[in-house]
Structure 1
Amino acid sequence: MKPYLRQAVEYPDQEAAARHVLAGVLWRHSAYEEAVSHAKSCYELYPWAAMILHMAYKNGQGVEADIDLADWYYDYWEKTTQG
């Protein structure tokens, strides 16, 4: 696991963790697929992984490469944060 991902797992706040990964990864398009792959593999264990894609989707950054996957994470995030 890359250092920035390991650090994000340690964040107590999900949004802070998602922002940590976004700041270090998603703004650099070359690392986008790696971030998506990691989020996909661990979203059940780490809810912030879904937030990464949710936030990227809302900000319109990087999601052009795989808009369907971003939509899927957005839906997952919506379901897990309601009520």
Structure 2
Amino acid sequence: MESPRITEQRRRINIAIRTAELRPKIVWIRYFGLAGALGELEFDAYLHRAITIPQLQCDLIAHAVNELIDEIPPLPRAPYGADIEV
């Protein structure tokens, strides 16, 4: 039985992945590059609630997701009239 904290962390990781439209394979590659211990199949099983993993591995996955989100360029903003030089 996993702790409520790990369950909630996994739920939020999945939300972040979906919202940022990240591909799980890309997340796994980044996670593995951060010295993550899970293979690709175990990683997928974790995301789909099939296995429980140690807190440190959950945090490494969260870190990988956050790094990838930080690399997404911001959306263009609508300018105000005073911001436009003609």
- TM-score, length basis structure 1: 0.31
Larger Rg computed on CA atoms: 2
Q: Which has the higher helix share?
A: 1
